[in-house]
Structure 1
């Protein structure tokens, strides 16, 4: 039962956040809330030591603090900040946490570059009638939730809860 929750909740919340960000340039708060609450429930029920849960909380709060500064400077959106912190909660302070952040950074840079190229060609894309979401063409922001989700998907198989769930299935 716990393994099923691990394998469903994390990817589903990230997928919802990514698609919502792509189509509306908004990440629903419920995706971040479900990620955080589900982690706390799953970690407790799986027997994760409270000290380890504390390190996961510390990682999430560190990310949230940095993202809060970026939000205050109008560099990052609030939904991106909340999603990044909630996703970081699933990784904790271990090599997978840094792997996750590296994936998000690299994918975010590539996505930003591609979106800027698409926006530079917006008139051509509109004239041809290519099916590109208008949020990508017209918005001034970058839907970074997509990079957070993809980075989360890439790093997830190395995460502590994923590995514990796999081990529990054996």
Structure 2
């Protein structure tokens, strides 16, 4: 049961965050709350030692501080900051967190360029009737939850808790 929850909670929360951010330009508060509370319940039951558990919480707190600074500078949305910080606890304070952050940055760049291209062609897209969410064409924000989810899903197999669950299955 614990192993199944490790394989479900993070990917499903990433998918929900990406879809809601795509269509509504918001990430519901329940998504980062489920991620954080899920980790707090699942990690000790999975056999994670307390040192790794506390380092994972420190990773989330560190990411939250950095994201809070970006939010204060009006360069990052609050939902994106909460999602990124709550996701960081699943990766811990190790190289998998760096891999996750680099993946998020890469997908964020690709997403930003793609959306800027769509917005530059919004008249043509609308005239042709191409089904693109209106929020992508008219909003001034970038739904970065999509990049966080894509980077998270790419880095997901590198998370120590996931690797531990895979080893338990073998």
TM-score bracket, normalised by the shorter chain, equals over 0.9
Instruction: Say whether the 8 Å CA contact 2:3–2:46 is kept in structure 1.
Output: no
Deviation at 1:40, TM superposition (A): 1.0
Q: Secondary structure at the match of 2:91?
A: coil
The number of residue pairs the alignment matches comes to 170
Distance (whole Å) between structure 1 residues aligned to residue 93 and residue 69 of structure 2: 21
CA offset digits 1:36-90 (Å, max 9, x no partner):
0111111110121111111111111111001001111110000000000011110
Residue 3 of structure 1 deviates from its aligned partner by: 0.9
SS at match of 1:132: coil
TM-score (normalizing by structure 1) = 0.98
Equivalent residue, structure 2, for 1:63: 63
Aligned to 2:152: 152
- The unaligned stretches of length 5 or more in structure 2 are none
Unaligned 5+ residue runs, structure 1?
none
Q: Could you say what secondary structure the match of 2:31 adopts?
A: helix
Q: TM-score scaled by structure 2?
A: 0.98
- Trace 1:86-97 onto structure 2 (pairs within 5 A): 86-97=86-97
Contact kept, 8 Å, 2:88 with 2:97, in 1: the verdict is: yes
| SS, match of residue 74 in structure 2 | coil
Cα RMSD (Å): 0.6
